[in-house]
Amino acid sequence: MGNTNSGTYVRVFANDSVWMEDSAVEQLQTTARNLSAIRAAVGLPDLHPGRGYPVGAAFFSINHFYPALVGGDIGCGMQLLETDLASHKTSPSKIEKALGNIDSPLPEHSITPATYGQLEQLAQQAGDTDLRYLLSMLGTIGGGNHFAEWQAVDAIYEEGVLNKKQLYLLVHSGSRGLGGAILRQHVERFGHAGLVADSTAAKDYLDQHDAAIGFAQLNRQHIASRMLRAVRATGRCMLDVTHNHVGVHQWQGQQGYLHRKGATPSDQGLVVIPGSRGDFSYVVRPVASRHDALDSLAHGAGRKWARSDCKGRLKPRFTLAALQQTRFGSTVVCADKDLIYEEAPQAYKEVDGVVQTLLDCGLLHLVARLKPVLTYKKGAMACC
């Protein structure tokens, strides 16, 4: 599916194996039309409506870029670690007990001087942000679709990448409040008009943007390491990939800016496409140089239901306890009752359809399929 809209390349990667809302496609087209510097817009199979702009999409612009298109969670991404825990030696209940309440701010004595130095540098680069603010968020998962999930290997498609016997840890989180603060500050001055490339304002934003990317990555590292420590395991980072960002990019021989809004890069090696908390996650090898897809893949399953619809639809059919277990026998730890409904597997597309669509389009090769053992969404200290 593709069309040319007053010179703008707009394409949606979809087929019968994936649900896609018309309103999301409309949002993609409207965005491509209304933001005048945009030359190309791509919807991935996880495309779904967002606040003004769709999620699961990539946009290429020339001479101008749009911070509002990236949104508030600058630097949000996935980190996958191979742990030294053997899958068969553990269980959801053992991990849950060992983790305890692990989503509160890190105790200050556990912050190393090196981390402290990194935070000081990031706080300054982000625009004189309060260091204490960053410290209070470091190592916390956040809300929405963020999680840290212990996973077992369910299937191997390409040998020699994942180890069938090991447990893996997937961390999905972002820059927490920092990216939101940077966006708010930007929108107060410039609204949604975007910035002229190479202007002072553009350089200032990109500097802050990069600080948010750095903080998000540091945050994922700390989420992972505190969890590994709690279960007395170690981990090896296999990939850490950001799906909300903007940066210089080439497209059709022209230099411009690529915005990814819930879109995983396909030009940075292996990536993971997670399903919902009651579904598989796929480690995949992107096919390189698919510029027709703006070098991007789906970043997950994508929402099927609006958050506001979930509780009404699920409460009559499921108890909270039922939603804290999944069809795999995995456990979902989440102290926020509303969030359990909003993040229920029923609220998401089936990841198999999303991945099948990308396979059919020739955008990736499968490496492995992971299934959840325990998902940590939000601890009691982190909410209420």
Partner DNA sequence: ATGTTC
Q: With binding defined as CB under 7 A, does residue 266 bind DNA?
A: no
Written as one letter, the residue type at 27 is: Q
Q: How far is the CB of 116 from DNA (least distance, A)?
A: 18
- Is there a contact between 67 and 244 (Cβ–Cβ < 8 Å)? no
Comparing CB distances to DNA, the nearer of 134 and 293 is 134
Count of residues that bind DNA according to CB under 7 A: 19
Say how far apart CA 58 and CA 67 lie, in whole Å.
Answer: 13
| Cα angle value 1/243/65 (rounded, 5°) | 80
Does residue 225 belong to the site contacting DNA (CB under 7 A)?
no
* CB closer to DNA out of 28 and 183: 183
Angle of helix 113-125 relative to helix 200-230, nearest 10 degrees, comes to 150
The answer to whether 73 is annotated as binding is yes
Q: Is 243 annotated as a binding residue?
A: yes
Closer by beta carbon to DNA, 143 or else 278: 143
> Under the criterion CB under 7 A, does residue 176 sit at the interface with DNA?
yes
Which one of the spans 30-38, 90-98, 175-183, 249-257 is the region binding DNA (CB under 7 A)? 175-183
Q: Residue 37 — φ and ψ, nearest 5°?
A: -85, -5
Tell me 82's DSSP state.
Answer: E
Distance between CA atoms of 152 and 4, rounded to whole angstroms? 44
Known binding residue 244? Answer is yes
Subset of 36-75 contacting DNA (CB under 7 A): 51, 72-73
Does the annotation place 293 within a ligand binding site?
Answer: no
Q: Minimum Å distance from CB 338 to DNA?
A: 9
Q: Is 64 a catalytic residue?
A: no
- Classified as helix, coil or strand, 122 is helix
Q: Which residues contact 75 (CB under 8 A, 6 or more apart)?
A: 174, 175, 179, 209, 212, 213, 214, 215, 216, 217, 242, 244, 245
Closer Cβ to DNA, 212 or 231, answer by number: 212
Q: How far is the CB of 66 from DNA (least distance, A)?
A: 16
DSSP E strand stretches across 49-135: 55-61, 64-65, 77-86
Query: Which span sits near DNA by CB under 7 A: 22-30, 105-113, 157-165, 174-182?
Result: 174-182
From the list 48, 291, 299, 365, the catalytic residue is: 299
DSSP 304: S
In this complex, which beta carbon is closest to DNA, that of residue 187 or of residue 270? 187
Q: Rule CB under 7 A: say whether 243 interacts with DNA.
A: no
Q: Quick check: 45 and 13 in contact, CB under 8 A?
A: yes
- Please tell me whether 34 is known to bind a ligand: no
Smallest gap from Cβ 137 to DNA, in A, equals: 6
Three-state SS string over 208-271 comes to HHHHHHHHHHHHHHHHHHHHHHHCCCCEEEEEEEECEEEEEEEECCEEEEEEEECEEECCCCCE
CB of 180 to DNA, least distance (A): 5
Angstrom CA distances, 98 to 75, 93, 142, stand at: 29, 9, 20
One of 173, 208, 221, 296 touching DNA (CB under 7 A): 173
Give least dist CB 224 to DNA, A: 16
Residues 124-163 close enough to bind DNA by CB under 7 A:
130, 133, 136-137, 142-146
336: how many CB neighbours lie within 10 A of its CB? 17
Q: Does 186 show up as a binding residue in the annotation?
A: no
Q: Which one, 294 or 339, has the nearer CB to DNA?
A: 339
Dihedral angle of Cα 56, 209, 242, 342, to the nearest 10 degrees: -50
Q: Is 337 in the site for DNA (CB under 7 A)?
A: no
Give the residue ranges of the annotated binding site: 73, 145-149, 172, 243-244, 281, 299-302
Give the residue ranges of the annotated binding site for Mn(2+): 73, 146, 172, 243
Active-site residues: which are they? 299
Q: What residue ranges bind DNA (CB under 7 A)?
A: 51, 72-73, 76, 130, 133, 136-137, 142-146, 173-174, 176-177, 180-181
